Homo-oligomer: A and B are copies of this chain.
Amino acid sequence: MPLQEQSKGVKMLQPINNIGGKVLLYEEVAGRISRMIDQGTLRPGDRIPSIRGMSKQMQVSLNTVKEAYNLLEDRRMIEARPQSGYYVRQRKTELPAEPVVNRPALNPATVNLCDVYRMVMRDLLNPQLLQLGIAIPNPKLLPIEKLSRMLSREVRRFGVESVSYDLPPGNLRLRKQIAQRLLLSGCTLSPDQIVITSGCVEAVVLTLRALCRPGDAVAIETPVYFNFLQLIEEMGVQALEIPASPRGGISLEALDYALSRNRGKVKACIVISNFNNPLGSSVSIEDKRRLVELVERFDVPLIEDDIYGDLSYTDERPSVAKVFDKTGNVLLCSSFSKTLAPGYRVGWIAPGRFQEQIERLKMISSVATASPGQQAIAEFLANGGYERHLRSIRRVYARQSAQMRDTISREFPAGTRVSNPQGGFVLWVEMPRQINALELYRKALEHGISIAPGHIFSVDGKFTNCIRLNAAAWDDRVEAAIGTLGRLAKQLVEEFEN
C-alpha cells in the first residue's frame, strides 16, 4: 500500500482556491485514490484502508474520507462490502474495451451525407421519443430557477441595454468573466481577445468562414460531431479526415502526414480537445503542445473546440491547446450550452490573430448575440456559484456515464466496445461488425428511442457498426431503453448469422 508514501504530499491536500470556487478536500482525496486505481497501484479486489486508517494516513478528517469514499462509490470505482470494508470494484470481464482507432483515407473528400442526418434531426422535434441521439445536457441539471431570476433582475437593471444591440465583440462584463475563467484552462487572455457568439456552433461557423473558401480543405478528426460535417458540406469545403482514438484523440502522426501530403490546400484544422464528442477522448497536455507546434509548422490555423472542458469528472479543469499558442494561430471556441442554458445561445471565441476578421464576420452575419442571455450568464459567472454548480453536475455525469457503460456491457452483444470518457456526457459504442447501426436506429425508433447512428459522424458513412448515446440522464426509462437497444442489437447479430 503506497498510500503512506504518497501522503507525504500533504500540501496537495490543502484546498486550492479557484476562481469562483475551490476544489474540496474530499474531492482531492477521491482524486488521489482514483489515480492509484487508474495506474494499477490499487487493483480490482484490493481492500483499501478503512475510513479511520485512511484518515490517519492522509491527515484529514473522518468525514472527508467518508465523503471521498461516497464519491468513489458513486463513480463505481470502489464498493463497500458489509462487515468487511471497502474494496476496489471488480471490473467484470465483460466490461467493454474501448473502441479501436479507425483508419480513414488520408485524402480530402467532398462531404456528401445521406438523409440520415435529416432523419435524426427530425426526431428531435418529436417529444414522444426518448432522445438518446442528441448531445444535450440533462435539463434537470441546469440551474433554471437561478438563471431565470438573474435574467429577470439583469434586464430590469440594464433597461435600455437589454433591448439594444451588444455589438461585437459583445458584452464586456461577460468577456471579463470568460477571461478570468480562462485562467483555469491555463490561458491568460484579455477581454478584448474574446468575441461573444450565439453558441459554440456559431463560433465554429465564424472561424471556418474566416479561414476557408470553397475548394479548400479542413483537417478534422474522425469520427466527429456531425454538425461540423454538415457545415463543411454546406460551405463547399472538403474534409480531410484524420484518425482519432477514444483515448488520446486525434492522431498527430496521421495529421502530420496528411498535412504534408496536402500542403497549401488545408486551411484549418478542427479539434475537440477535451472530452471529445463523440469519442470521449482527451488530447494529453503534451500532445496539445505538439498539436499547436505541428499546425503552426504547416501554417494551418487550429480551431479548438472546448465545449465540454468544464465537465471534467475529476474536478480538475483540463487545460487547452490554446495555452501553447504564441502566434495567435489558435481560435479557441466554447459556450455555456452544456453547463448552463443551451437555449440562451451564448458562446464565445478567442480568435487570436483573427480577432478583427471574426468581429466583422459576426457583425455582418447576425449583428450581435441576444443581449439578455449575455447579461444573465455574466451575472451567473460573477455571482451565481458557477464552480459549485459544475462540481455538482460533474459528479452526476460521472456516475451516469458509468451506469450507462455498465448497463451497455451487460445488455449489448458480446464484442461490443464502449468509450470511457473522463468528462462530458456522450458515449461512443462500437458494436460487432455485422450490425448496421442504421437498422438498429430504425428498430429503436419503433420502440420510441432515438439514437445517433455512426454513419453521420464521418464523410462517407464509416462507423456503420457504431452509435453515439447521450448519458446525460439516467433513470428507469433510460435503463430500460439501453436494455431494449441491447436486445435489438443481439437480434441483429442473430439475423446476420442465420
Stretch from A3-11, A356-364, A413-421 contacting the other chain: A356-364
Chain B residues with CB below 8 A from A360, complex form: 118, 121, 230
A40 within 8 A of B: no
Contact A363 B121 (CB under 8 A): yes
Contact A125 B366 (CB under 8 A): no
A136 within 8 A of B: yes
A351 within 8 A of B: no
Stretch from A57-65, A147-155, A173-181, A425-433 contacting the other chain: A147-155
Stretch from A16-24, A74-82, A197-205 contacting the other chain: A197-205
Q: A127-167: contact bitstring with B at CB < 8 Å (1 yes, 0 no)?
A: 00000000010010010110110011001100111111111
A-B contact pairs, 9 of them (CB 8 A): A136-B165, A142-B160, A152-B156, A162-B341, A201-B365, A234-B365, A345-B368, A369-B370, A372-B373
A343 within 8 A of B: yes
A103 within 8 A of B: no
Taking CB atoms and an 8 Å cut-off, the chain A residues in 177-217 that contact chain B are 198-199, 201-202, 205, 209, 213-214
A236 within 8 A of B: yes
Contact A163 B343 (CB under 8 A): yes
Given A166-B343, A201-B365, A213-B214, 6 new contacts (CB under 8 A): A163-B341, A198-B370, A209-B234, A227-B364, A234-B361, A370-B373
Q: Are A236 and B209 also in contact (CB < 8 A) when A160-B144, A342-B164 are?
A: no
Chain B residues with CB below 8 A from A163, complex form: 139, 142, 144, 147-148, 340-344
Contact A343 B161 (CB under 8 A): yes
Contact B162 A144 (CB under 8 A): yes
Chain B residues with CB below 8 A from A155, complex form: 147-148, 151-152
**Interface residues, chain A, with chain B CB atoms under 8 Å away:** 118, 121, 124-125, 136, 139, 142, 144-145, 147-148, 151-152, 155-156, 159-167, 198-199, 201-202, 205, 209, 213-214, 227, 230-231, 234, 236, 340-346, 360-361, 363-373
Contact A162 B148 (CB under 8 A): yes
Contact B364 A345 (CB under 8 A): no
Contact A366 B124 (CB under 8 A): no
Q: Name A140's closest neighbour in chain B (CB-CB).
A: B160
Q: Which of A125, A145, A164, A343 has the most CB of B within 10 A?
A: A343
CB distance from A487 to the nearest CB of B (A): 30
How far, in whole Å, are A145 and B162 apart by their CA atoms in the complex? Answer: 10
Chain B residues with CB below 8 A from A167, complex form: 124-125
How far, in whole Å, are A163 and B145 apart by their CA atoms in the complex? Answer: 10
Number of copies: 2
CB distance from A213 to the nearest CB of B (A): 7
Partner of A344, one of B136, B145, B213, B372: B372
Chain B residues with CB below 8 A from A366, complex form: 198-199, 201-202, 205, 345, 366
Q: Name A359's closest neighbour in chain B (CB-CB).
A: B121
Q: Are A230 and B372 also in contact (CB < 8 A) when A152-B151, A155-B148, A214-B213 are?
A: no
How far, in whole Å, are A202 and B162 apart by their CA atoms in the complex? Answer: 20
Contact B139 A164 (CB under 8 A): yes
CB distance from A127 to the nearest CB of B (A): 11
Chain B residues with CB below 8 A from A364, complex form: 201, 227, 230-231, 234
How far, in whole Å, are A7 and B147 apart by their CA atoms in the complex? Answer: 58
Chain B residues with CB below 8 A from A201, complex form: 364-367
Q: Name A154's closest neighbour in chain B (CB-CB).
A: B148
Q: Name A204's closest neighbour in chain B (CB-CB).
A: B365
CB distance from A93 to the nearest CB of B (A): 40
How far, in whole Å, are A367 and B231 apart by their CA atoms in the complex? Answer: 11
Chain B residues with CB below 8 A from A205, complex form: 365-366
Chain B residues with CB below 8 A from A236, complex form: 213-214
Chain B residues with CB below 8 A from A367, complex form: 199, 201, 227, 342, 345
Q: Name A364's closest neighbour in chain B (CB-CB).
A: B230
Contact B345 A369 (CB under 8 A): yes
Chain B residues with CB below 8 A from A159, complex form: 144-145, 148
Q: Are A372 and B151 also in contact (CB < 8 A) when A142-B160, A201-B367 are?
A: yes
